[in-house]
Chain A
Amino acid sequence: MLIIKDLKASIAGKAILKGISLEVKPGEIHAIMGPNGSGKSTLAAVLAGRDFVEVTEGTVFYHGKDLLGMAPEDRSKEGIFLGFQYPIEIPGVSMVNFMKTAVNEHRKHKGLDPLSASDFLKLMRDKKELVEIDSKLANRSVNEGYSGGEKKKNEIFQMAMLEPKLAILDETDSGLDIDALRIVANGVNKLKRPDNSTIVITHYQRLLDYIIPDVVHVLYDGRIVKTSGKELALELEDKGYDWIKKEVENQD
């Protein structure tokens, strides 16, 4: 589904990603962990198409297509979803209008007619229930005045509406209390299908109590320094990141 090869990227001339290779197969859940500043969010930004990150080397193929050559909106329509670490507030644009536009853009891309107003509202209702989001939020401007937890739930709600093939959740757990964390994780699990994949980017292990990864990668200083099964996450929780840093330094 997603094949990243020797990806190098910099921000304002400073190298952040220093050669990342990674393959995600249909149905897999990958966790990318790592200390602060290791490049986790930059990787998410590259995959979503943010223009402040400059890719200097390497390739990313998504379903056989060159992802790096695609506009952000086309990536979305092809089935990639980025859950933002800091969801953006958009004053004056209602959640309903925002989602209706997005859903219909996706449908147009698939050659489908736009949803009727009533079908759309029904879809909104169903998905809201799924992610346990307050239905009043939908009438407000996108993320405006939402609490931190509401913003994160709203990300999962949008994911539910757009049904991506590959979801990249960037620090979706940060700033969540345990109840919100459970709701967010449940949402992700309910949306899981055998053919769609998820990349969970997180600093802490606790989200992985709820979303069980198939593969865990540790990112450090712009490189993947360790890849293993889900037990790696527990080990990190137990021992922190220092031993990994030492291992890397010893290798150098």
Chain B
Amino acid sequence: MNGKSEVTEFYSGLYSSNFERITEGSSPYINSFREEAFGNFAKLGVPTRKNESYRYTNLDLFFKHDYKTYFIPDESDFQKAEDFRCDVTDLDAHGVVLLNGFYPTVNGKLRKLPGGITIGSLNEAAKKFPDLIEKHYGKYAGSETDGLVHLNTAMAYDGVFIYVPDGTVLKKPVQVVNLVDSKEDTFNQHRNLIIVGENAEFTLIICDHTLSPKKFLTNAVSEIYVGANSHFDIIRVQNEHNNAAKITHTFIYQEKNSHASSNNITLHGGLVRNSTYHYLGGEGAECNSYGLYLSDKWQHVDNYVNIEHAFPNCTSNQLFKGVLDEMSTGAFNGRIFVSPDAQGTLAYQKNNNILLTDDAKMDTKPQLEIYADDVKCSHGATVGQLDDNALFYMQSRGIDKRQARLMLMFGFAHEVIQNIKVEALRERMDNLVMQRLKGELSRCASCMVKCG
């Protein structure tokens, strides 16, 4: 180790100064991970551009900042969260709100949904369901290179806990709304644990919003376990202001014959980094990893996908698309790892980007590591402009250029949106994407949240 950087020192200090507050309220099991995780963080540090998977992303823009608080709320803070209502009125979902990464205390910390499903606070669940926590917590999240995963484990206090028992099919999705709201510049970390048993079906929607115009940094980890023969969908909609950074690490562990799909839709945000890890841990498992990012001004959106084929006859499919305007930048890094035992693997990857200006920039990189023989693998990436021939064709039918551009971009983006199975959300996303492409969606004023 060649001397901790100033940035890493700052977050180490945050850990030390909050250590007592965090451990005091947490379950012993969650606390048992902290020391080792902190050691790993101290060793790895906040990723720099020397880290291969962060090569195109400058975290310093947000990490090099003196955040005033590490938020641990009291009851009065939750009023706003309680008052929050998602304005997708026809979205029929079980709603949960997290405020700065904490579960509201007002109406009890755990609740039951049909089929014996439990949703609520991870902090509380760790005390009520020690067996489940000990079986799953800390088992899927890990990284040999990314210190931020360890920083989260070291400091994790609360987040959403969901348990879907074997054989439960929940038709209604669960919607988690992450609100970030503070009078001071704030650094947040939350930790989600989602356990889906065997033969179950479950859809999770996560919406990221900022409610006040301060500088925010969120570093979130989600661990998701998908049991054999189960179907699981996660859709993440990111709509934060330009002075907010969102770093997410989502680890999805799949058992045999399970299907999981992840869809990261980034509409707005200063700096966004989504790392999505899919571990295909049983024969016949299948995963889809989708993403859509629309950026402008100085925004930067980075998607890192890591798919590990550990067993034979699994299928993975990646589709990430982006439209980058003005001087915004983006990165995509899709890793496919096929272990020697994973014969019969099918793995596909596609990343297409449209740059609307000469100043916008996109770096895209496939990373294939294949150690089995019987494997079908394909990858393709494009970075280009809107098709002039298509624009002219539309104009020649009476559609003006501006509208034609909009239709082309929308069509391009819709290929990702169409994979959202929840109809009301899909329509809403189509709408938001259209607004975003028209330039009507700017800052948090027009996000789904009615601020004040």
| A residues adjacent to B (C-beta < 8 A) | 48-50, 71-73, 75-77, 81-82, 84, 87-93, 97-98, 101-102, 105-106, 109, 141-142, 158, 162
Asked whether, in the complex, the Cβ of A50 is within 8 Å of the Cβ of B415, the reply is no
Please count the residue pairs between chain A and chain B whose beta carbons lie under 8 angstroms apart in the complex. Answer: 78
* 13 A-B pairs whose Cβ atoms sit less than 8 Å apart in the complex: A48-B396, A49-B395, A75-B396, A76-B395, A76-B398, A77-B398, A84-B393, A90-B408, A91-B412, A101-B407, A102-B394, A105-B403, A106-B398
Interface centre among B390, B394, B403, by most chain A C-beta atoms within 10 angstroms, is B394
Q: A84-B393, A90-B394 are in contact. Are A73 and B411 (CB under 8 A)?
A: no
Not counting A84-B393, A142-B393, A162-B397, a sample of 8 additional A-B residue pairs whose C-beta atoms are within 8 angstroms of each other reads: A75-B396, A88-B390, A92-B412, A93-B407, A93-B408, A98-B397, A98-B407, A102-B394
Given A50-B392, A72-B392, residue A92 in contact with residue B399 (CB < 8 A) = no
Given A92-B415, A93-B408: A105 in contact with B399 (beta carbons within 8 A)? yes
Minimum CB distance partner of A45 in chain B = B392
Chain B residue with minimal CB distance to A144? B411
Majority-rule SS of B interface residues:
helix
Within 8 Å of chain A (Cβ to Cβ): is B401? Answer: yes
Q: Are B401 and A73 in contact (CB under 8 A)?
A: yes
Q: State A74–B390 Cα separation when bound (angstroms).
A: 17
Q: Which of A109, A142, A158, A162 has the most CB of B within 10 A?
A: A142
| Residues of chain B within 8 A of A76, CB atoms compared | 395-398
B427 contacts A by Cβ under 8 Å? no
Q: Does residue B373 face the partner (Cβ distance < 8 Å to A)? A: no
Establish whether residues A73 and B395, one from each chain, have CB atoms under 8 Å apart when the complex forms: yes
Docked CA distance A252–B408 (Å):
49
Which residues of chain B (396-452) have a CB below 8 Å from chain A? 396-401, 403, 407-408, 410-415
Residues of B near A49 (CB, < 8 A) are 395-396
| Residues of chain B having any CB pair with chain A under 8 Å | 387, 389-390, 392-401, 403, 407-408, 410-415
Q: Across the two chains, which residue of chain B brings its CB closest to A103?
A: B398
Distance in Å from the Cβ of A83 to the closest Cβ of chain B? 10
Q: Are B397 and A102 interface neighbours, CB within 8 A?
A: yes
Contact yes or no, B412 A158, CB < 8 A: no
Determine the distance from Cα of A105 to Cα of B396 in the docked complex, in whole angstroms: 12
- Closest residue to B401 on the A side, CB-wise? A73
Contact, CB under 8 Å: B390 / A102: no
Most buried by B among A49, A98, A162: A98
- When distances are taken between beta carbons in the complex, the residues of chain A under 8 Å from B403 are 101, 105
Bound Cα distance A7, B284 (Å)? 66
User: Please, how many angstroms separate the alpha-carbon atoms of A92 and B410 in the complex?
Assistant: 8
A104 CB, min distance to chain B CBs, angstroms: 9
Shortest Cβ gap from B180 to chain A (Å): 33
Q: Is A73's CB under 8 angstroms from B398's CB?
A: yes
Cβ–Cβ < 8 Å partners of A82 in chain B: 396
Contacts of B396 in A (CB 8 A): 48-49, 72-73, 75-76, 81-82, 84
Which residues on the B side are within 8 Å of A158 (C-beta)? Answer: 397
Chain B residues whose C-beta falls within 8 Å of the C-beta of A109 in the assembled complex? 398
**Most chain B beta-carbon neighbours within 10 Å: one of A73, A76, A93:** A73
Q: State how many angstroms separate the Cβ of A137 from the closest Cβ of chain B.
A: 16
Residue of A nearest to B400 (CB): A73
Complex: A166 Cα to B398 Cα, angstroms: 14
Among B395, B407, B408, B411, contact of A72 (Cβ-Cβ < 8 Å): B395
Closest B residue to A109 using CB positions: B398
Among residues of B, the one whose C-beta sits closest to the C-beta of A84 is B393
In the complex, the chain A residue whose C-beta lies closest to that of B409 is: A92
Does A90 lie within 8 Å of B411, measured CB to CB? yes
Closest chain A residue to B402, Cβ basis: A73
Q: How far is the CA of A82 from the CA of B389 in the complex (A)?
A: 14
Given the complex, which residues of A lie within 8 Å of B397, measured CB to CB? 73, 76, 98, 102, 158, 162
A106 to B410, CA, bound (A): 22
Q: Contacting A141 at CB < 8 Å: which of B389, B393, B399, B411?
A: B411
Q: How far is the CA of A117 from the CA of B400 in the complex (A)?
A: 21
User: Are B392 and A91 within 8 A (Cβ)?
Assistant: no
Residues of A within 8 A of B389 (CB): 88
In the complex, residue of chain B having the shortest beta-carbon distance to the beta carbon of A72: B395
Contacts of A141 in B (CB 8 A): 411
B390 touches A90 (CB 8 A): yes
- Residues of A near B400 (CB, < 8 A) are 71, 73, 105
CA distance A102 to B395 in the complex (A): 9
Min CB distance, B396 to chain A, in Å?
5
